[in-house]
Amino acid sequence: MIFEGLADKLQQTFRKLRGRGRLTEADVVEAMREVRMALLEADVNYKVVKDFVARVKERAIGQDVLESLTPAQHVVKIVNEELTALMGGTQSRIAVANNPPTVIMLVGLQGAGKTTTAGKLANLLLQQNRRPLLAAADVYRPAAIKQLQVLGEKLDIPVYSDEESKNPVRISQEAVHTAIMKGRDVVIVDTAGRLHINEELMAELQNIKQSIRPHEILLVVDAMTGQDAVTVAEHFDGQLGVDGIILTKLDGDARGGAALSIKAVTGKPIKFAGMGEKLDALEPFHPDRLASRILGMGDVLSLIEKAEQSLDLEKAQDMEKKMLRAEFTFEEFLEQLRQVRKLGPLDQLLGMLPGMGNLKKMPGMEVNDKEMKRVEAIILSMTKKERRNPQLIDGSRRRRIAKGSGTQVQDVNRLLKQFVEVKKMMKQLQSMQKSGKKGKFKLPFMR
Amino acid sequence: MGFFDKLKETLGFDKLKEGLTKTRSAFTDKIEQIITGYRKIDEELLEEIEEAMIQADIGVHTTTRIIGEVRKTVKKEQIESPQALYEVLAQKVADMLGHEIKPLNRAAEGPTVILVVGVNGVGKTTTIGKLAFHMKQAGDKVLLAAGDTFRAAAIDQLEIWGERVGAEVIKQAEGSDPAAVVFDAVQAAKARRADVLIIDTAGRLHNKTNLMEELRKITRVISREIGGAPHEVLLVLDATTGQNAIAQAKIFQEVAGVTGVALTKLDGTAKGGVVVAISAELAMPVKIIGVGEGMNDLRLFAPEDFASALFNRDKE
C-alpha cells in the first residue's frame, strides 16, 4: 500500500489516542512527538516537519478540541486537514494552450524516470482524445532516444528525434514545428537528466525554455528521494520556473517524504504520480485522497473511478442478470474474477477501503493475487462441461483438475464448496427480489 | 597486480576527497557554522548537530544512536570544547562504516562474476560501464551481460557502453527471459576465458515479489553454473535516496545475497548519509562510489576518508 510505513505509524499513534476518553495537553504533546518521528523517518523535510508539528499542536491544544466529546477524532481531523494542505489541497491539472500545440517540458535529475513518464503522460493524454507528439531532447544518455522511440512505437505516437544533432534546443524547436505540421496538439519534450548544480546544463534548459515557450514545465521527482528532494526542487524552480511536479515510483514502499515536502517548500503542486512500470500507470494526484489513505480512512472515490474505468458495464449487467437467475456457473465466476483483477493489484485496492489497509496483515486473511491466480488455474483446468455443471466433478475429476492446475485436491474441494455457498446466496437474493420484501436477505455475518 | 591495486595507483585517494568536496562542504560548512556559534557543548548544540545529520539523510534512528555515543564519549573524556566534537563525530561515523577499504571480491580461479542489482534509475548500467572501463584498463578481459530485458532500449544502452570500453555484450531480444541471457553469458565467460563477467539486471522495486523472485532465479542460475558465483553482488544505491534505501538493502540482501554497495550520484548535493545506517544495521560494506557521468568517475570507497570528509574542518 502507498506510504505504508508512515500510515502504520500514524494510525498506531492515533489508535492510542482514541483509547483514552479525555485528552490532556500532555497526551497531545506525546502524540505529536511520535508524529514527528514518523514523519522524519519517512524522509519528510526537517523544516516541514517542524512547522507541521507546531501547527497541529497549536490547533489541537485549543480549548474546544480537548473539551469536545471526541477529542481524538478532532486531532485526527486536524492532522488530516494539515496533511492535505501540505500536499496542496485538491487536484491540479495541467495547462492547455489556447493555441495548440500545448508544449510540456519534462525536467529532473538522472534516473528520476523522465523518459518512462513521457511515455506514460502521452498515453494518458491519448486516453483523453488528445494527439501527443514526443520529442527526444536527451542527447547525452546512451540509447535515451531509442528508448523514447520504442515507447512511441508501443503507443503508436510519433516521436521527433534527430540522432545526428547534439543540440537539444534545435531538436525541441523542430519538434514543435513538426507538431504544428502534423496537427498534433500536445508536444512532450523529454530532456536529459542533470544535476541541479550543473550550471552549463541548467543554462541549456533555460535556452530550451526560451526557444519553445512551454506551457508546462514539469519536474520529475523520484518518490524515494530523501532530504535532498527539497534542495533539488528549489534549484530547478529557481532557475527555470517549474509549474508542477510528477512523482515517480510511488508503487514502491517509499514513505512519502518527497510528496509531503516539495509542495510545502516550493509551493508547486504535484500533478501526477507514477504507480507502476506499465504505460498506463500514471495517475492524477489527489492530495486529499492520499491524506485520508495515510490515516487509514480509505479512498472510496478512487476505487469507484477505477471501477468505472476498467470494468465493462454491459458485461457487469449481463452478469447480474445471470446471477439473479441462478445461472451462475464457473464460467461467470471466472469472468468476474478477471474483472476484479483488472482493477489492479489487490493490496492497492484494499488500501482504498476504509480500515481495510491492515486486513492483509491478519492471519488467514491473505488476499493476494497469487491466490486469485490459483483459483483461475483450477477453473481453467475444468472442462467446459464441468464449468457449467459442477455436480459432474467427482473424485477422479477432482484429482485430474488438481493435477492440471498444479494444486492439491483440497484446493479444488475448497473452491467447489465456496462455489456452492455463493450459489446459495444467489438463491436467497433471488427469492428476496421476487417477494419484493427488503431486509429478508441476511448475510452470514449479519445478526 | 590486481585491478584494485592498479586502481588505487592510478586514481589515488585524493580523488575520493575531490569527489566528496561538495558533500563535505555542504555538510561540514553546516556543522562548522553550528559549532562556531557555541562556546560550550550543551543540549542545544547537540540538538542542532542532530538536525544537520538528519538533513544529511543519516536517519533519525542512526543519528540518535551516534549522538548517544558522542554524549558518552564527551562525558567520559570530559571534552569541553565544541571544536573537539568534529573528531568525536567523525570517529563514531567511521566506526559504523568499518575502517577498511573493501575491494571487490575476485574468484580464486576462472571468471569473476559480478551481479549488479538495484531499484529503477539508480545508475546500474552507467556503473557497469565505468567498472568495465577500469577493469579493461587494468588488463582484464571483460564480458557484459544484458540482463535488463524489460526496459525499452536498456540493451542498446549497455551495448553503447560495451563499444566505448571495448567489452563484448552477451544479449538476447527485448522481453526475453533474463535468466536465459545470464545462462548464455556465464557459458560464454567460461568458454572465452573471460576474467570478469558483469551482469546488468532490470531495475526492480524491492516490494515487487515476482520481480524479486526473478532475481532469485538469476542468482540460482549463476551459482549452478559456476560454484561460488556470483562472487560479488553489487547493490547500486542512489545517494539522493532517503531512508527507503534501508528497506532496499534489506530485501536485496535477503533475495540476492548482496556483498557490497555502489553509491552513485555523489556529485550532487545529496549527502548519501543513509549508507551509514546501512553499514551499521546490515553490516553491508560500501565498496565503490560514483561521482559523475564520465568513464573515469568511479572511486573506491574509503570509510575513514568519507567520515573525515564529512566532519573534518581542514580544507586542503
- Mean pLDDT across A10-17: 84
Q: Is B187 on the interface with A (CB under 8 A)?
A: no
Please give the pLDDT value at position B116: 98
Q: How far apart are CA B196 and CA B114, in angstroms?
A: 7
Higher pLDDT, A356 or B221: B221
Q: Is B123 on the interface with A (CB under 8 A)?
A: yes
Contact flag A222-B270 (C-beta cutoff 8 Å): no
List of E strands, A122-265: 132-137, 159-160, 186-191, 216-222, 244-248
Tell me the residue type at B282: L
Q: For residue B173, what is the DSSP state?
A: -
Using DSSP, state whether A283 is helix, strand or coil.
strand
Show the cell assigned to A318.
Answer: 449481463
Mean pLDDT of chain A: 83
- A189–B contact, CB cutoff 8 A: no
Of the candidates A224, A273, A262, the one whose C-alpha atom is nearest the C-alpha of residue B246 is: A224
The reply to whether A42 and A171 lie within a common domain is no
Q: Quote the pLDDT of residue A292.
A: 76
Alpha carbon distances (Å) from B269 to A197, A241, A417, B6: 8, 20, 60, 30
Query: Is the model more confident about A196 or about A428?
Result: A196
Closest-CA distance, B282 to chain A, in angstroms, reads: 17
CB contact under 8 A, A146 and B205: no
**Cα nearest neighbour of B60 on chain A:** A41
Would you state the pLDDT for residue B127?
96
> Does the beta carbon of B102 lie under 8 angstroms from any beta carbon of chain A?
no
**ipTM exceeds 0.95:** no
Q: Which of A225, A228, A249 sits opposite B205 (nearest CB)?
A: A249
Q: Mean pLDDT over residues B100-122, rounded?
A: 94
How is residue B280 written as a grid cell? 551499521
Indicate the residue of B156, B241, B243 with minimum beta-carbon distance to A146: B156
Tell me if A228 and B207 make a contact (CB, 8 A cut-off): no
The string of pLDDT tens digits covering residues B50-90 is 888 888 899 999 999 999 999 999 999 988 888 888 788 88
CB contact under 8 A, A227 and B241: no
Report CA-CA distances (Å) from B183 to A426, B193, B220, B225, B273. Answer: 52, 15, 10, 8, 37
Which of A114, A190, A200, A227 should we substitute to test contact with B (largest number of B Cβ atoms within 10 Å)? A227
Higher-pLDDT residue of A83 and B258 is B258
The fraction of chain A above a pLDDT of 90, given in percent, is 41
CATH number of the domain at A191, please: 3.40.50.300
Shared domain check, A353 and A268: no
Residue A281 forms contact with B (CB below 8 Å): no
Whether residue A440 is contained in a domain is answered as: no
Q: Is the CB of B160 less than 8 angstroms away from the CB of A143? A: yes
Average pLDDT over residues A240-265: 90
B295 touches chain A (CB under 8 A): no
CATH number of the structural domain spanning residue A57: 1.20.120.140
The conformation of residue B118, written as its DSSP 8-state character, comes to: -
Q: Which residues in chain B have Cβ-Cβ distances shorter than 8 Å to A250? A: none
Q: How far apart are CA B60 and CA A415, in angstroms?
A: 48
Q: How far is residue A197's CA from residue A230's CA, in Å, rounded to a whole number?
A: 13
Residues A72 and A199 grouped into a single domain? no
- What SS3 state is found at A62? coil
How many interface pairs between A and B have CB atoms less than 8 angstroms apart? 134
A65 pLDDT band, cuts 50/70/90, is confident
Beta-carbon contacts of A90 under 8 Å, excluding residues fewer than 6 positions away, are: A286, A287, A288
> Which positions in chain B touch A42 (Cβ < 8 Å)?
243
Categorize the per-residue pLDDT at A363 as very low, low, confident or very high, splitting at 50, 70 and 90.
Answer: very low
Final residue belonging to a domain, choices A26, A54, A86? A86
B-chain CB neighbours of A144 within 8 Å are: 153, 157
Same domain, A44 and A149: no
Among the residues of A311-408, which ranges form H helices? 313-324, 330-342, 346-350, 369-380, 384-388, 395-405
| pLDDT attached to residue A255 | 76
pLDDT, residue B307, reads 76
First vs last C-alpha separation in chain A: 32
Residues of B in contact with A228 (CB under 8 A): 57, 240, 268-271
Classify residue A66 by its DSSP letter: H
pLDDT score, position A349: 64
For residue A92, tell me if it sits in a domain: no
Residue A260 domain flag? yes
Q: Which residue of B has its CA nearest to A345?
A: B208
Residue B6 binned pLDDT confidence (cut-offs 50, 70, 90): very low
Is residue B120 within 8 angstroms of chain A, CB to CB?
Answer: yes
- Residue B122 and residue B264 in contact, taking contact as beta carbons nearer than 8 Å: yes
* Inter-chain CB proximity B269 and A196 less than 8 Å: yes
Task: Please identify, among A86, A110, A135, the residue that sits at the C-terminal boundary of a domain.
Answer: A86
Q: How far is A200 from chain B (nearest CA, A)?
A: 14
Report pLDDT digits (tens) over B147-170: 999 999 999 999 999 999 999 999
Beta bridge partners of A221: A247
**Contact between A142 and B161 using a beta-carbon 8 Å cutoff:** yes
A407-431: average pLDDT = 79
Instruction: Please give the share of chain B, as a percent, with pLDDT higher than 90.
Output: 59
- pLDDT by residue (tens digit) across A104-146? 999 999 999 999 999 999 999 999 999 999 999 999 999 999 9
Does the pLDDT at position A86 exceed 50?
Answer: yes
Q: What is the pLDDT at residue A25?
A: 86
Answer yes or no: is pLDDT of A222 > 90. Answer: yes
Instruction: Please tell me the distance from the alpha carbon of residue B180 to that of residue A358, in angstroms, as a whole number.
Output: 39
User: Does residue A341 register a pLDDT over 60?
Assistant: yes
pLDDT higher at A22 or A429:
A22
User: What number is the average pLDDT over the span B127-152?
Assistant: 95
Specify the pLDDT at position B9: 43
Residue A447 within a domain:
no
The CA distance from B99 to B177, in Å, is: 41
A161 and A257 together in one domain: yes
State which of A357-361, A364-368, B135-139 shows the largest mean pLDDT. Answer: B135-139
| Distance between CA atoms of residues B81 and A96, nearest Å | 60
Total domains in chain A come to: 3
CB neighbour list of residue A12: distance below 8 Å, 6 or more residues apart: none
Q: Which of A57, A86, A115 is the last residue of a domain?
A: A86
Residue A74's domain spans which residues? Answer: 4-86
State which residue of chain A sits closest to B242, comparing Cα positions.
A226
**Residue in B51, B153, B247 closest to A46 by CB:** B51
Helices A395-405, A369-380: crossing angle, 10 deg rounding: 130
Q: B241, A222: Cβ pair inside 8 Å?
A: yes
| Residue A296, domain member (yes or no) | yes
Inter-chain touch A41–B243, beta carbons under 8 Å: yes
Pairwise pLDDT comparison (B80 vs B29), residue with the higher score:
B80
**Contact at CB, B60 and A40, closer than 8 angstroms:** yes
Same domain, A145 and A259: yes
Query: How does residue B269 score in pLDDT terms, banded at 50, 70 and 90?
Result: confident
Going by the DSSP 8-state scheme, the letter that residue B83 receives in this structure is: G
List the single residue in B54, B153, B157 with the smallest CB-CB distance to A40. B54
Distance from CA of B8 to the nearest CA of A (A): 27
- For residues A228 and A255, membership in a common domain is answered with yes
All residues at 6 or more sequence positions from B84 whose CB lies less than 8 Å from its CB, including other chains: none
> Does B243 contact A at CB distance below 8 Å?
yes
Q: What is the mean pLDDT of chain B?
A: 86
pLDDT tens-digit map of A255-285: 788 888 999 999 999 999 998 889 999 999 8
Per DSSP bridges, beta strands A282-284 and A270-274 are antiparallel
Query: In chain B, what percentage of residues exceed pLDDT 70?
Result: 88
CB contact under 8 A, A226 and B293: no
* CATH number of the domain to which A417 belongs: 1.10.260.30
A42 vs B: CB within 8 A? yes
Which of B113 and A86 is assigned the larger pLDDT? B113
Residues of B in contact with A232 (CB under 8 A): 240, 268-269
Q: How confident is the model at residue B312 (pLDDT cuts 50, 70, 90)?
A: very low
| Inter-chain residue contact B268 with A196, CB threshold 8 Å | yes
Establish if A252 belongs to a structural domain: yes
Q: Do A261 and A181 belong together in one domain?
A: yes
Nearest CB to A228 within list B122, B161, B270: B270
Q: Which of A46-60, A421-435, B139-153 has the lowest mean pLDDT?
A: A421-435
A142 vs B contacts (CB less than 8 Å): 156-157, 160-161
Check whether residue A150 and residue A287 sit in a common domain. yes
Q: What is the pLDDT of residues B185-228, one digit of tens each?
A: 999 999 999 999 999 999 999 989 899 999 999 999 999 999 99
Q: What is the pLDDT of residue A350?
A: 62
Within a domain: A93: no
Q: Does the pLDDT at position B303 exceed 90? A: no
Residue A441 inside a domain? The answer is no
Domain match, A120 and A170 both: yes
Element (H, E) at A150: helix A144-155
In this prediction, residue B242 carries a pLDDT of 93
Does one domain contain both A130 and A278?
yes
Type of residue found at B86: Y
CA A229 to chain B, closest CA, distance in angstroms equals 8
pLDDT given at position A325: 64
Confidence at residue A445, expressed as pLDDT on a 0 to 100 scale: 37
Distance CA A243, CA A158 (A): 25
pLDDT greater than 80 at residue A163: yes
Q: What is the pLDDT of residue B13?
A: 38
> Are residues A164 and A123 located together in one domain of the fold?
yes
pLDDT at A447: 33
The string over A61-98, giving b where at least 16 C-beta atoms fall within 10 Å of a residue's C-beta and e elsewhere, is beeebbeeeebbebbbbbbbbbbbbbbbeeebebeebe
Chain B contact present for A140, CB below 8 A: yes
Chain B residues closer than 8 Å to A201 by CB: none
